[in-house]
Structure 1
Amino acid sequence: MADVVVDPGVPPEDAQLLRESRRVLIKMRLGWVPEPRRSVSSAHYRMIAAFGSAAFFGLMLGAGVLGLGFGLLLFVVLGIPLLIVLFVRNDMPEDEEDGYEREVYEQLCWYEGRYVLTEDLDESAARLLARAQRAIATVTGSRVNAEGLLDDVRNTVMLPAQEWEIARLLAKLSALRTKHRETVSQGLTPEVAAVAEPLARALDSSEEAVLARVEALERYAANVIDAERAYVAHHQIEELRGRVHQYEELVAETGADGFAVPELERLAQDADLLEQALRRSVSSAQEAFRYLDP
C-alpha cells in the first residue's frame, strides 16, 4: 500500500516524486531542513577585495618601479590564491544526494497539504486507510476491470479521488484527535469536561462518516470479487466447450456414450448460467459503484 497518498490534482511527475519521498518526509517531521545553498559571505567578499587590491597594487607598483616582469610576478603570487579561494568556495558542485533531497524538500513545501504520510495517522485512522487501499487494489487489479467490463474510466478517476479524500480526512481527524487526547490527559475540571465530551463525540462521528466511505468501497470490491469469480468460471467453461468435439470423438470411440452425453449437456447449460451470472455480477458491481459518487 502507498506510504504517501497524493492529491490526484498534483501533476503526475510531481506526484511520483512525492510518493517516493517518504524518507525525506520523515526527516522533515523530525525537524530536518536542508542546509542553505552555498553563497559568498560578506567576510568572503572583504577577503576577495583585499586580495584583489593587493594584487592590483602589486602589479601597478611592479610595472612602474621595478618593471613589468616583477609586477606580473606579484600578481601571480597574490592573484592566483584569490582565484583558488573564489572558485573552490563557490563553484564546487553540490553533493548529488544533497541536491536531490533539496529538490524533494522544496516540492514537499510547495505541495504542503496535498499529500498525506501514513505515519501521520493514528492507529485507528491507519487501519481505515489500509482497508480503503486494499479495496481499491482489489478493483484495479481485477481482470474484469482490465477487460473493461467495469466502468474503467470512472474507476481511473473516482478511486484515486476516494483514496485521497479518505486519507485527507483521516489525517485531519488524527491530528485533532491527538491534540484532544493530550488536553484531556492533563485532567479536566467539570466545566471543561462538559465541553470536551461533545467534542469527543464529534470526533467519533467524523470517524464513522469516513468509515461509511470505506465500507462503500469494500462493498464495491466484494461485488468485483464475485464478478471476477464468474469471469474466471465463464472462461474455463468456454475452454471446455471448445474441446467438446474432442470429448465426443473419444466417447464415440470408447463406447461410453451413456455416461458422457448427460455431462456434455450439463456443460452447455453451465456455460449459459455462468454467462448470466457474470452479467449479474458486473451489474451489481456497477450498482455498488454508484454509491461512491459524490
Structure 2
Amino acid sequence: MVDPGLPPEVAGLFRANPSMLRRIRAGWRPLENPPGKSPVALAVAGMFAAVGFLALLSLEGGAAPSVLLFFMLLYFVSAAIRAARDSEESESPEQELYEFAHRYRDSYLLPDDFDADASRLLGRTRQAVDSVLRSRVNTEGLLDDVRNAVMLPPREWEVARLLAKLSSLRGEHRDLVRDGISVEVEAAMKPLERVLAGSESAVTAKVEALERYAAHVADAERAYRARGQIEALVERLPRYEELLAESGADTLGMPEIGRLTGEAGELERALRASIRSAHELFRHLEGPAPSG
C-alpha cells in the first residue's frame, strides 16, 4: 500500500519492489564505490600523478614542459568534472529506491505491517474500492467518476494506515502479556484494551461504509447491464417480427415481446434509483481524512 499523494514514479517503484523495501527496513544498504575506485577519485589521482611528473620535467626543460603541464591540468580537471557528473547521473536503481524509501518512510506499508485480522479488513477495503473504480457505471460517468478517483484512494490509504497502527499496538500488547502479568498490570491494561477494541470497531465501520457504497454501485451496475441487454433485444424486434410474418407463424403471437419496452423503462428507473442511492452513500463518505 502506498500513499496516493506520492509522486507516481515513486509509487510505481515502491509497488514493484516490496521485497527490497522489506530488506531496506531490516537495515540493508546499497554498496557504495570503495575509496579510491570512483571515477572522480581516479581522475583526481591521474591529475596529481601528471602534475608531479610534468613538474619534474619543467625543472629540467624550461618553458615547454610548463605549457604541457598547463594543458594536462586542464584535461584532468575537465575529466574530474565529467566523472562527477556521470557518477551522479548513473545512480543505481537500488540506491534510488533506498533514498526514496527513507525520504518517504511514512508513505508506504508492507504486508508485514498487518496482522491477520487487519489483513482481512484491508482486503475487504481494497475489494470495495476496486469494484467501484472498475465498474462500468463509474468509468462511463454515470457516477461521479472524478470524485470517486479523488476520494476513494485516500480513504483506502487512511484505513490501511490505521490498520497498521492497530496491528503494531496489538502485537506489542501480545508480547507484553505472553509470559503472564500480575493482577495490578492486568487492571492497568484494561483501558488500553478498550482503546484497541474501540479503534478496531471504528475502522471496521469505515470499511463497512465503503462496502455499502460498493454494494449500491454493484446494484447500479447490474441494472445498467440489464438495461443494455433489454435495449439490444428491443433493437432486434423488427427482425423477429419479420421472421414471424414470413414464416407464417404470426398466428402464434408473442405477447412477451411487447413487454420488452416496458421492462427497459423499469430497468431505467431502477438504474436511476440505484445511482441516487450510491450518491447518498457517497456523501456520507466525503469529508477530510483525519491526519496523523
Shorter-chain TM-score category?
0.7 to 0.9
2:23 is the alignment partner of 1:27: yes
Counterpart residue identity of residue 27, structure 2: G
- Which residue number corresponds to residue 168 of structure 2? 175
- The runs of 5 or more residues in structure 2 that have no matched partner are 288-292
Instruction: Give runs of ≥4 in structure 1 deviating > 6 Å.
Output: 47-50
Q: 1:113 corresponds to which residue?
A: 106
Deviations 1:168-224 (A, max 9, x none): 111111112111211111321211111122212211211111111111111111111
- 1:231 paired with 2:243, answer no
Query: Residue 92 of structure 2: SS of its match in structure 1?
Result: helix
**Cα shift at 1:252:** 1.8
Residue matched to 2:237: 244
1:133-156 per-residue CA deviation (whole Å, 9 max, x = no partner) reads 011111111111111111111101
Q: CA deviation at 1:28?
A: 1.1
From 184, 194, 207, the counterpart of 1:214: 207
Report what 2:186 is aligned to: 193
Cα deviation, residue 277, structure 1: 1.3
Give the drift of 1:56.
Answer: 5.3
The code of the aligned residue for 1:55 comes to F
Q: Which amino acid aligns with 2:4?
A: P
Q: For residues 29-86 of structure 1, what are the alpha-carbon distances to aligned partners after superposition, in whole Å with 9 as ceiling and x for unaligned?
A: 2220223455559xx89x889957863565356649xxx99xxxxx9xxx9xxx9xx9
Give the letter for the 2:30 counterpart: P
* Gap regions ≥5 residues in structure 1: 70-74
**Structure 1 residues 63 and 143, CA gap change in structure 2 (3 angstroms):** same
SS of equivalent residue, structure 2 residue 125: helix
CA distance in 1 between counterparts of 2:35 and 2:279 reads: 59
**In 2: Cα distance, 1:213 partner to 1:245 partner:** 50
Q: CA shift at 1:256, angstroms?
A: 2.9
- Say whether residues 1:13 and 2:9 are aligned partners: yes
Supply the distance in 2 between the matched residues of 1:274 and 1:54 (Cα, whole angstroms).
91
**Counterpart secondary structure, 1:207:** helix
CA distance in 2, matches of 1:25, 1:114: 12
- Rounded to whole Å, the distance in 1 between the matches of 2:56 and 2:174 is 73
What is the distance in 1 between the residues matched to 2:240 and 2:258?
Answer: 12
1:97 Cα deviation from its structure 2 partner: 9.9
Inter-partner Cα distance in structure 2 for 1:49 and 1:149: 69
Q: Distance in 2 between matches of 1:150 and 1:51?
A: 72
Aligned residues: 275
Would the alpha carbon gap of residues 52 and 250 (structure 1) be closer, same or farther in structure 2, given more than 3 Å must change?
A: closer
Superposition RMSD in Å: 3.4
C-alpha separation in 2, matches of 1:122 and 1:135: 20
CA distance in 1, matches of 2:158, 2:251: 61
- Structure 1 residues 270 and 50: alpha-carbon distance in aligned structure 2, compared to 1, 3 A threshold: closer
Counterpart amino acid of residue 192 in structure 1: V
CA distance 1:49–1:284, change in 2 (3 Å) = closer
**Identity over the aligned pairs, expressed in percent?**
48
Distance 2:51 2:256 in 1: 104
Describe the SS at the equivalent of 2:31. coil
Partner of 1:33: helix, strand, or coil?
coil
TM-score (norm 1): 0.80
Give the match for residue 116 of structure 2.
123
Q: Which amino acid aligns with 2:136?
A: R
Alpha-carbon separation, structure 1, partners of 2:224 and 2:251: 31
Q: Which of these residues, 203, 207, 213, is aligned with residue 196 of structure 2?
A: 203
* CA distance in 1: counterparts of 2:251 and 2:213, whole angstroms: 45
